[in-house]
Amino acid sequence: MKYNEISNRAKNYIITVILVIYILINIILFISNIVITSYFASKYSYIIYFLVILNTLVGIFSIIFIPKQIEKNYGYYTDLTRLEARYGIFFVNKKIVLLKNVYKILISKKIIGRIFGISSLTLSTSAGDIKVSLLNERELEKLYNKISNVLNSEEL
């Protein structure tokens, strides 16, 4: 069984989200730097140096390691009876759902995902939900049509 892997658009989306989070962390660190230096003068300047070094290491780790892990660990597989999704960064999880048990299909797009054309598909069953993330428009439409065809053929 071969999992469908994420597209290049999804890889760019992941890197953009990481950069946005990294920029927000830098803004928080900059503000905390101003607060620490204004209240404590140079008495606690080593804290600022530690935070700058830590932030730099986290940024390098995030930009290099996390996209590769997501690319390796994210994917989905579907046939006429079931959908299997694999996801996770540090711990790989796998969920399987029988398509005959699906009663609701939800398509969602985040703000940055709309720019890149990346969506996620959530299938709801009585046992719980399964989410397939990082789908481009073509993959989403193909997967949705496949699931809809299976559900419609079972209703007849």
| Per-residue pLDDT at 155 exceeds 70 | no
25-82 pLDDT, tens digit per residue, is 888 877 877 776 666 666 666 777 787 788 888 888 888 888 889 888 999 999 888 9
Residue listed under structure tokens 């530690």: 50
Beta pairing partners, 123: 105, 130
| Per-residue pLDDT at 107 exceeds 80 | yes
Q: What is the pLDDT of residue 141?
A: 93
Q: What is the pLDDT of residue 41?
A: 60
The whole-angstrom separation of Cα 84 and Cα 66 is 22
From the list 84, 91, 92, the residue with the least C-alpha distance to 132 is 84
The whole-angstrom separation of Cα 64 and Cα 15 is 9
| Per-residue pLDDT at 156 exceeds 70 | no
pTM above 0.85, yes or no: no
CB atoms within 10 A of CB 30: 10
Count of all residues that appear for the chain in the document? 156
From the list 39, 19, 37, the residue with the least C-alpha distance to 29 is 37
How far from chain centre, in Å, is Cα 126? 24
**CB within 8 A of 67, min separation 6: which ones?**
11, 14, 15, 18
How far from chain centre, in Å, is Cα 38? 38
User: What H or E segment, with its residue span, contains residue 155?
Assistant: helix 137-155
The whole-angstrom separation of Cα 121 and Cα 124 is 10
